[in-house]
Amino acid sequence: MIGPRAAAWSVWGAALGFVLVGLLFGILAFSAGLPGGRGPMLIPIMVQGVLVVLYGTLGALIASRRPANLIGWLFCAMAATLGLLSAAYGYADYALYATDDTLPGAELTAWLTNWLFMVPVFIAPCLLFLLFPDGRPPSPRWHPVVWAVVIVAAAAIIATALEPGRLDAHPYVANPLGLGERFGDIVRLAKDVTDVVAIPVFLVSLASVVVRLRRSGGRERLQVKWVAYAAVLTTISFATSFLVGLLPSGQTAADVFFLSGVVGFTAIPVAAGIAILRYRLYDIDLLISRTLVYGSLTVILVAVYAGCIMVLQGFLRALTGQESQLAVVASTLSVAALFAPLRRRVQSFIDRRFYRRKYDARKTLEAFSARLRDETDLQAVSDDLVRVVRETMQPSHVSLWLRPDAAPRDAQAP
């Protein structure tokens, strides 16, 4: 029987594999002619890849150390869903628009993207708000809200999956599993109802974070604070983007707020990691430190990679009149060259921010070693050594004893 540790890391590996598949097909379909003026999915796939790294690594660490806590498995499920969604987006675009051959499962993959997004966008955030940090709701009175999230999400997924007509993400593809007109009206009505009910359910779930923050104290309050800030930022940004988008000339501002919401959504696992790191929630602070380093590094490198591709493709299009794979190659080489120096800078920032005592101790020892090479005064070396021990180890008392030199043998001889 597979253990919790192996199961958690297997989900992590599968999620990363799905992301790689999505990136491959996303690159192949990047220049394909898409219907309705819709842009390529390569950038969203890369963003989802960053989220998979953050959620998946954090979830695998927590689930392998605390398998009874649902938070770790919730993060693992989020990563697996985002990875599968990335692969589905990439393959659907490639199979439908980038090749003349009929590839198997193209319509079913497009159908999968039509409803699978509800898991990371609605179900997982609601449950995270309700269950963080101990895997339980704030009180038994919140159990009906948990069931409401599950029921509304299940109804919305079923209704969207079986709704007849064209798919939202692929408007030229008919739903391969759409019901006939007799049951189609029922499914449409159920979808409209869940769209309305989902909003108050989401807001009530978010309110549970505020309630837990007000009722908790000590370390738990500090833990919840980080996730609460990220959750509020995400909700306000997405809500503002939706409302501003309704205005005739508000599309640009709506896009800005939507981007802010994406940043807030990405910040949720980072906030959870900071809560664990700073307040030792699951005794995995060192591992979470590495996650923050490589998660932040991944976000920066993905942004650089995407920016380089867009800039270089625009330059090559203006210069030659067509796009070229040279932009992808040059962007890849740039990211490879930036990896090592950027990793050192991010590691230094994380150490200064979260391991200040360790960082200061290392700097003090490095400075002492440099002085020791040039210092010849024994008393000065002794004073420096006592000061270094006091600053790095912080003992209650420090004293230094130097053994006197033994008398020369010639002086002891009769």
Report the 10 Å Cβ neighbour count for 307: 12
Is the Cβ–Cβ distance between 69 and 16 less than 8 Å?
Answer: no
Structure tokens at 320: 């030659």
Nearest residue to 62 (alpha-carbon basis) of 291, 386, 330, 336: 291
Question: What are the two backbone dihedrals, phi and then psi, of residue 166, each rounded to the nearest 5 degrees?
Answer: -80, 155
Q: What band does 283 get if pLDDT is binned at 50, 70 and 90?
A: very low
pLDDT at 284: 44
**Where does the pLDDT of residue 149 fall: very low under 50, low under 70, confident under 90, or very high at 90 and above?**
very high
Name the residue with higher pLDDT: 277 or 123: 123
CA distances from 210 to 91, 129, 224, 225, 353 (A): 40, 9, 9, 9, 26
Confidence bin at 88 (pLDDT 50/70/90): very high
**Cα–Cα–Cα angle for 332, 333, 339, nearest 5°?**
90
Question: What per-residue confidence (pLDDT) applies to 282?
Answer: 47
pLDDT tens per residue across span 3-42: 888 888 899 999 999 999 998 888 888 777 776 666 778 8
What's residue 86's pLDDT? Answer: 92
Indicate whether 235 pLDDT > 50.
yes
The predicted-structure confidence for 175-227, as pLDDT tens digits, reads as follows 888 877 777 778 888 888 888 888 888 888 888 888 887 777 666 676 777 77
User: How confident is the model over 267-279, as a mean pLDDT?
Assistant: 66
Split at pLDDT 50, 70, 90, the class of 277 is: low
Cis geometry, peptide bond prior to residue 133 (ω within 30 degrees of 0): yes
Does the pLDDT at position 170 exceed 70? yes
The pLDDT value recorded for residue 95 is 87
**Six-digit token string for 69:** 């806590």
The mean per-residue pLDDT over the stretch 308-317 comes to 78
Question: Who's near 307: CB < 8 A, 6+ residues apart?
Answer: none
According to the model, what pLDDT value does residue 393 have? Answer: 55
Domain ranges of the chain: 1-99, 296-354, 357-394
Question: Which tokens go with 362?
Answer: 């290392």
The per-residue pLDDT for range 33-64, each reduced to its tens digit, is 776 666 778 888 888 888 898 888 888 888 88
For residues 143 and 131, the answer to whether their CB atoms sit within 8 Å is no
Instruction: Work out the average pLDDT over 389-408.
Output: 62
- CA pair distance 125, 153, nearest whole angstrom: 12
List 166's β-bridge partners, or say none: 174
**The pLDDT of residue 269:** 77
DSSP string, 189-233: HHHHHHHHHHHHHHHHHHHHHHHHHHH--HHHHHHHHHHHHHHHH
Mean pLDDT on 274-283: 54
Residue 383: other Cβ atoms inside 10 A: 12
Measured distance CA(320)–CA(182) in Å, rounded:
54
Report the 10 Å Cβ neighbour count for 86: 29
- What pLDDT is stored for residue 137 in this prediction? 87
- Residue-averaged pLDDT of the chain: 77
Which of 132, 151, 142 shows the shortest CA–CA distance to 70? Answer: 132
Report the alpha-carbon distance of residue 316 to residue 318 in Å, rounded: 5
| Alpha-carbon dihedral 12, 16, 17, 23, rounded to 10 degrees | 160
